[in-house]
Amino acid sequence: MIGITLPDGSVKQVEAGTTPMDVAKSISEGLARNVISASFNNEKVETSTPLNTDGSLVLYTWRDDAGKEAFWHSTSHIMAQALEEMYPGIKLTIGPPIEHGFYYDIDLNGHTISEKDLPAVENKMLEIARGKHDFKMRSVSKEEALQFYRDQENEYKVELIENLEDGTITFCDHDTFTDLCRGGHIPNTGIVKAVKLMSIAGAYWRGDENNPQLTRVYGISFPKQKELKEYLELLEEAKKRDHRKLGKELDLFTFSQKVGQGLPLWLPKGAALRERLENFLKKAQKKAGYEMVVSPHIGQKELYVTSGHYAKYGEDSFQPIKTPNEDEEFLLKPMNCPHHCEIYKSKPWSYKDLPKRFAEFGTVYRYEQSGELHGLTRVRGFTQDDAHIFCTPDQLDEEFKKVIDLVLYVFGSLGFEDFTTQVSLRDPEKPEKYIGDPEVWEKAEQAIVSAVTDKGLDFVIETGEAAFYGPKLDFMVRDALGRSWQLGTIQVDYTLPERFELTYKGSDNELHQPVMIHRAPFGSMERFVAILLEHTGGNFPLWLMPEQVSILSLSEKYENYAQKVLNLLENNEIRALVDNRNETIGKKIREAEMSKIPYMLIVGEQEENDGTVSVRKHSEGDIGTMSVEEFSEMINSEIEKNSVEFNV
């Protein structure tokens, strides 16, 4: 008999040789129907693997990430079988699961395949799936494995096997198909009910462009047809909401090959949107006792040698800027903190002056490979909504909590209701990755855990994910499409105050070292606007919309009245524009809908005579006729109603 410990801590005594599926059945038939993979003592096993020692067992269903991984891994076997049968002589290489689905890299060995061939492959795969073939692992000797692939003239698998140790090599069989495989499958092919092959791309063997080019086929699969349909709809929606597409449609930003990749140019509407976000945060920060500062975008190389940034970013980033004087070299700033440290250092402080909270919308520059750039989410220059708080060690806990309050206020005001947090600590086994004394790291880590605990936040701890200069708390928000984004960060830093020799005079009249908090609720203006665009699909909260109202005149005759309505709205601090073009009202409405303008006011003879406007709401249609005053009140109370209060 062996003892199997389950996740709830209970221990089941079973006979040696019992499989994970047997354990599932012993718990309930319902569970057994849903279990598709398992781990034993933190290692992937098959649901059919006999267990022969005491240990911890976790059973996974489709709802678990590990379940999906096994599902997609297994489907890539099915795709490989289908492709081998349809394109005889192709050579398989590797075929892993990925975040959404799986791929297989194949040497087509003379065959060609295009997107239009994929539906036939899908059908073949579903035919195989319906056969309900079990996935069965077996050990093979290195020689046997090499011989198997030498017979197929598959030099890729041979190369893979040559790097493996004899005695650790396994094959997986299902139906007539065999593949070199480490394991981790669903019980049988029949569980795969829906398949979609997404695209075909080129890829180099082992990612090296000197190696032969392979064909990569991407796919995804689901246990129910309905789930595939929902996934494809979500994908369609995400494509519509792609911030690069919306940014262009809404005239928010652009890029220029001449200015350079990854360097956004904000167009008037985008710049106004960004300014509105900045003003919103400035107002909250003022209430919370922050002071704005302004610092340059470069600094002497020595500044970043002192801060440690040069050692961190030096070689991979923008290189030092030489000058006509060879003793003077500058760097584009990758972070604002060294400048704020020097601002702090510009005068002596007493403990009575602290905390000092220096905020700046500071634009920083970091080089990224051009292949890694993506719209506003991966750029080479971005503006952090940065601030650095210098406080006494005693104040750290309270200051950290105040920053959490500010971040939550920001998220609430922008409609990000669903978020989790991650406490990133250092990897104690890799001290070379971090700068600073392990003892001060310990203190900083404790302060963060204590603050999130006191604030009652949901948090996970990730070891090894800290910044190089200190531990941090990151906020991960879930957007309207269910995707998770890292937004907002708060970091404790005992290191920079030491490197910059920052001090304050304590109540004991001695000099002490302040603690520093780095924080950015938005993270960066670029990334935040991108995420907000994809979250809202461009339908920003009303207070933030570039244009809140479009006044559509029924004909050019009503231009004067339209202008009068505009002035009245502007007096009520409502942002509006007049569409007085010589176009049909239908076209004007369609275009205002396209531009996501929340309200349309139609003005014609009737409205001019009555001193009213006919109101249409974006994507809802007509909501009646009213006076401009009534409409203004409606708008302003809608904004009021949806605004979150910020209490300091």
Which residues are paired to 420 by β-bridges?
476
Contact 512, 504 (CB under 8 A): yes
Q: How far, in whole angstroms, is CA 10 from its chain's centroid? A: 37
Active site residue 366: yes
Q: Looking at 127, 153, 230, 328, which residue binds a second copy (CB under 8 A)? A: 328
Which residues are paired to 462 by β-bridges?
424
* Residue 299 binds a second copy (CB under 8 A): yes
Nearest distance from residue 452's CB to a second copy, in Å? 30
Q: Which is nearer to a second copy, 315 or 458 (CB)?
A: 315
User: What is the phi-psi region of residue 597: left when phi exceeds 0, alpha when psi lies from -120 to 50, beta otherwise?
Assistant: beta
Nearest 5 degrees, angle CA 97-CA 102-CA 105?
Answer: 105
How many Å apart are CA 37 and CA 20, to the nearest integer?
8
Q: Which is nearer to a second copy, 480 or 544 (CB)?
A: 544
Q: Which is nearer to a second copy, 17 or 348 (CB)?
A: 348
Q: Looking at 10, 114, 325, 582, which residue binds a second copy (CB under 8 A)? A: 325
- Alpha helices (H) along 88-192: 118-130, 142-151, 155-162
- Residue 179, φ and ψ in degrees, nearest 5: -140, 145
Q: Looking at 275, 405, 442, 465, which residue binds a second copy (CB under 8 A)? A: 275
Q: Looking at 63, 258, 430, 641, which residue binds a second copy (CB under 8 A)? A: 258
Which residues are paired to 300 by β-bridges?
330
Q: How many residues interact with a second copy (rule CB under 8 A)? A: 56
Active site residue 579: no
Diameter of the chain measured on Cα atoms: 93
Marked catalytic residue, from 243, 356, 426, 472? 472
Nearest distance from residue 133's CB to a second copy, in Å? 49
* Residue 310 binds a second copy (CB under 8 A): no
Q: 81: closest CA among 71, 72, 90, 68?
A: 90
Nearest distance from residue 535's CB to a second copy, in Å? 22
Q: Looking at 9, 30, 202, 296, which residue binds a second copy (CB under 8 A)? A: 296
Q: Which amino acid is at 293?
A: V
Active site residue 100: no
Marked catalytic residue, from 339, 388, 402, 596? 388
Q: Which is nearer to a second copy, 327 or 645 (CB)?
A: 327
Q: Which amino acid is at 476?
A: M
Contact 297, 363 (CB under 8 A): yes
- CB atoms under 10 Å from CB of 272, counted, come to 15
* Residue 199 binds a second copy (CB under 8 A): no
Which residues are paired to 45 by β-bridges?
38
3-state secondary structure of 638: helix
Q: Which is nearer to a second copy, 67 or 308 (CB)?
A: 308
Active site residue 181: no
Nearest distance from residue 265's CB to a second copy, in Å? 5
Nearest distance from residue 311's CB to a second copy, in Å? 16
Q: Which is nearer to a second copy, 92 or 376 (CB)?
A: 376
Q: Token pair 């692992």 is at which residue?
A: 137
Q: Which amino acid is at 16?
A: A
Site string for a second copy, 209-248 (x = CB under 8 A): ----------------------------------------
Nearest distance from residue 307's CB to a second copy, in Å? 10
Contact 331, 304 (CB under 8 A): yes
Q: Which is nearer to a second copy, 347 or 641 (CB)?
A: 347
Q: Looking at 60, 266, 310, 599, which residue binds a second copy (CB under 8 A)? A: 266
334-353 residues in contact with a second copy (CB under 8 A) are 338-339, 342-343, 345-347
Q: Looking at 34, 48, 147, 295, which residue binds a second copy (CB under 8 A)? A: 295
Q: Looking at 159, 236, 302, 394, which residue binds a second copy (CB under 8 A)? A: 302
How many Å apart are CA 24 and CA 46, to the nearest integer?
13
Nearest 5 degrees, angle CA 383-CA 389-CA 391?
Answer: 170
Contact 647, 406 (CB under 8 A): no
Q: Looking at 322, 374, 433, 587, which residue binds a second copy (CB under 8 A)? A: 322
Marked catalytic residue, from 337, 340, 402, 548? 337
Tokens of 288: 């919370």
Selected range binding a second copy among 222-230, 231-239, 262-270, 586-594, rule: CB under 8 A: 262-270
- Residue 261, φ and ψ in degrees, nearest 5: -65, 150
3-state secondary structure of 370: helix
Nearest distance from residue 395's CB to a second copy, in Å? 19
* Residue 306 binds a second copy (CB under 8 A): yes
Q: Which residues of 74-96 are buried (b: 16+ CB within 10 A; e: fewer)?
A: bbbbbbbbbbbeebeebbbbbbe
369-408 residues in contact with a second copy (CB under 8 A) are 369-370, 381
- Residue 33, φ and ψ in degrees, nearest 5: -65, -30
Q: Which is nearer to a second copy, 165 or 372 (CB)?
A: 372
Marked catalytic residue, from 73, 518, 535, 616? 518
Q: Looking at 271, 457, 480, 639, which residue binds a second copy (CB under 8 A)? A: 271
At a CB cut-off of 8 Å and minimum separation 6, what does 5 contact?
11, 54, 55, 56, 57
Active site residue 518: yes
How many Å apart are CA 417 and CA 321, to the nearest integer?
44
Q: Which is nearer to a second copy, 1 or 294 (CB)?
A: 294
Q: Which is nearer to a second copy, 209 or 620 (CB)?
A: 209
How many Å apart are CA 436 and CA 552, to the nearest integer?
62
Selected range binding a second copy among 120-128, 167-175, 361-369, 533-541, rule: CB under 8 A: 361-369
Binding site for a second copy (CB under 8 A): 254, 256, 258-260, 263-268, 270-272, 274-275, 291-300, 302-303, 306, 315-319, 321-325, 328, 330, 332, 338-339, 342-343, 345-347, 358, 363, 365, 367, 369-370, 381
Q: Which residues carry out catalysis? A: 337, 366, 384, 386, 388, 472, 518
